[in-house]
Structure 1
C-alpha cells in the first residue's frame, strides 16, 4: 500500500472546486505508487458524462521544488511527448497545498503498465523513440534541476552501504562507483539535458498495444542523456536473469538512434553508463532495505524492493561488455 496521506470526500471536493470539473462522484486511493500518494477521482458536470482524473500528493518533494515539474511536463506535452501535464484552475494555478502537501491534478490515461512477459521488440522500439523525443525536447527546456541521487549521493552512501553487504558485493559496488568517477574525471563529451531518470516499464502505460503515457517524471533532472538511456535499457531490455536480451536491446537502441544519434564519446562510454545505472538503482534499494536514508518514512508503509535484482544486473554489466548497435 502506498497511500500515505488519507483524504476525505470533503477535502477532495474542496480541492477540485476551482477546476470547474463538476461534482465529486467517487475517489479511490491507488496502491501501486511508492513515493507519492495518488487517488483516482471521478467527477461529473450536470448533464455530462463522468470524467476521471488522478490526484497526486507529493510526500517527499517540497512545494518550492514543484514548479520545475509543472513547467517541464507542460513543455514536454507541447513537444508531443506523452507525459501527463497538470490541470490549471480558473485562475491559472496548477499547484496548491492539500493536507499540507503539494498537490497536482492530472488527466487519467487509459491503459496499464506492461507485465515483463509482455515486453517485446515492438514495445522496446516505441520506448526507444519516446525516450529520444523526451531528450530532444528537453534540450530546449531552460530550467535546471540537479539529481538528488547523483554522483555526490552515491559517493557518500556507497561506503556505508558496502558495510551492509557481503565482501564480494561490496567490492563490486565500490568498483562501479570508482569506474564512474574515473570516467567523469576524463571530462567526456557526453551530451547533457533533461532526463526522465526512472523510465522503468511500470512507468509507461500501454492501451491496446499503444503507448498512452509516460508517467512519474519526478526523478527528472539534468544529467548525461546516455545515463538515462542506460537506466531504461537495464529494465526494458533484459532477460529474466538480468542479462541483456539482444533482440530487445537492438530494437530499443536502434529506434532511439533514429531520433537522436549517439556521438563518438557515447559509443566509447556506453558500457560504463550501463554499469553506473545498475549501481545507482542497486544502491537506492540498499539504502531503503537497510534503513540508511535519514529521511526514510517511519509510517510502516515504506515499499521495499529486492536489492539483489540490481546486484545481478550490475554483475552482468561488469562481466559482459556491451556496445551501441
Structure 2
C-alpha cells in the first residue's frame, strides 16, 4: 500500500479544523498511489450529511512547487474541465504543511477508475474529447512549468538505466532517446501548452458510464500537446500485447480532433511522439524498479510496476507506423 506518511486521528483533526468541515468521522489510506500519500477523509457537521474528501500529502514535490498546481486546477475548473480543485480554508488558503509535507484537501468525486476490460470506444471518445478540452483551456494559463521528467531527465537517466537491462533492450532504449533528440534538432512546429502528463486510465474516474473527474495532475507542465496525446493513447488504446487497438485508437483521436484539430507538423511527428511517450514511462518504471532515483521510501511500501509493460509498448511503436485522423 502506497501510504508513505502515516497520520494519526489527532493530526488530521487538527489539519481540517480551519476548513470548518465539522468533526472527523474517519480516515483511510488509499492504496495504489506511487508518488504521493493519499487518504480518504470523512467529516460531518452536526445535523448535516457526511462529507467525503481526499487528503494528499506530496512526497516528492516541494512546497514552493505546489502553487502551480493549485492555480492550474482552479483555472481548469473555471473553464469547465472536470478536475478536482483543492478546498480552501476559512482564510482562503488551500496549501499548508502536514507532517512536514505539502498537503491539499480535495472533494471526493463519485465513481472509480475503469478496469482495462471496461475500456471501450465510448470511454475512449469521452477521454479524447476531455483531453482536448483540457489542452484548449490550458492555452489561457500563462504560468510555465517544465516537466521534471522531460528531455534532460531521460538524457541523464537513460545511460544509467541501460546498464541495468540486457543489451538488446538497452539498444532500443537509447535509440528511442536518440530519435527524440534528433527530432528536437529539426525544431518542429508543434503546439505547446499545459499537458496532464499522466492521463492513464487509473487517473480518470467514471460513474455510471460518464466521466466524473480527471485526477492526479502532478505531472502537469508546459510541453508539446502531441506528447500528451501520445501518453494517453499508449494507455487507453492498446491491446493486451501493447499494440494499438484500432477501434479504440480511432475513437479517441477522432473525438480529440473534433475539439482541437491537429496541424501538419503533428501529423508528421506523431510516430516520434508515440515512441517518446512509451520510452518515457518505460524509463520511469526502470528508475523505480532498479532504485535509480534518490527518493527514500519505507521498505516494502513502494509500489513497483512492471517495466516490461512499456518495453513491449515501445517495441510495437518502433515497429509500426500510425496516422492521425
Cα deviation, residue 297, structure 1: 2.5
> Partner residue of 1:26?
26
* 1:12 alignment partner, SS class: helix
Residues 185-264 of structure 1: matches in 2 within 5 Å? 185-264=185-264
1:290: which partner in 2? 290
TM, length-normalised to structure 2:
0.99
Closer/same/farther in 2, CA of residues 211 and 304 from structure 1, 3 Å limit: same
CA distance in 2, matches of 1:132, 1:141: 15
Q: Does the 8 Å CA contact 1:288/1:296 hold for their aligned counterparts?
A: no
Q: Does the CA-based 8 Å contact 1:195-1:222 persist in structure 2?
A: yes
In 1, the alpha carbon distance for the partners of 2:139 and 2:107 equals: 25
- Structure 1 position 313 matched with structure 2 position 316: no
- Counterpart of 1:267 in structure 2 is 267
Deviations 1:255-293 (CA, angstroms, capped at 9, x unpaired): 000110000000000000000000000011111111111
1:164 aligns with 2:164: yes
Residue number in structure 2 paired with 1:57: 57
Figure out how many residues of one structure are paired with residues of the other and give that number. 325
Tell me, in whole angstroms, the C-alpha distance in 2 between the residues paired with 1:26 and 1:164. 44
Runs (4+) of structure 1 exceeding 3 A deviation are none
Q: Output aligned runs, 1:71-220, within 5 Å.
A: 71-220=71-220
C-alpha distance in structure 1 between counterparts of 2:98 and 2:294, whole Å: 25
* Distance in 1 of aligned mates of 2:91 and 2:17: 12
Q: Secondary structure at the match of 1:7?
A: coil
Rounded to whole Å, the distance in 2 between the matches of 1:12 and 1:170 is 46
Report the Cα distance in structure 1 between the residues aligned to 2:103 and 2:111, rounded to whole angstroms.
23
Q: Secondary structure at the match of 1:232?
A: helix
SS in 2 for 1:38: strand
- After superposition, give the CA deviation of every residue in 1:108-156 in whole Å (9 maximum; x if it has no partner): 0011000000000000000000000110111110111100110011111
Aligned-pair Cα RMSD in Å: 0.8
SS at match of 1:149: coil
Partner of 1:276: 276
Kept after mapping to 2: 8 A contact 1:241/1:312:
yes
Cα drift, residue 192 of structure 1: 0.4
Unaligned runs of 5+ in 1: none
In the TM superposition, residue 301 of structure 1 has moved relative to its aligned partner by 1.2
The runs of 5 or more residues in structure 2 that have no matched partner are none
Offset, 1:298 = 4.7
Could you say if the C-alpha distance between residues 228 and 296 of structure 1 is closer, same or farther in structure 2, counting changes exceeding 3 Å? farther
Q: Structure 1-normalised TM-score?
A: 0.99
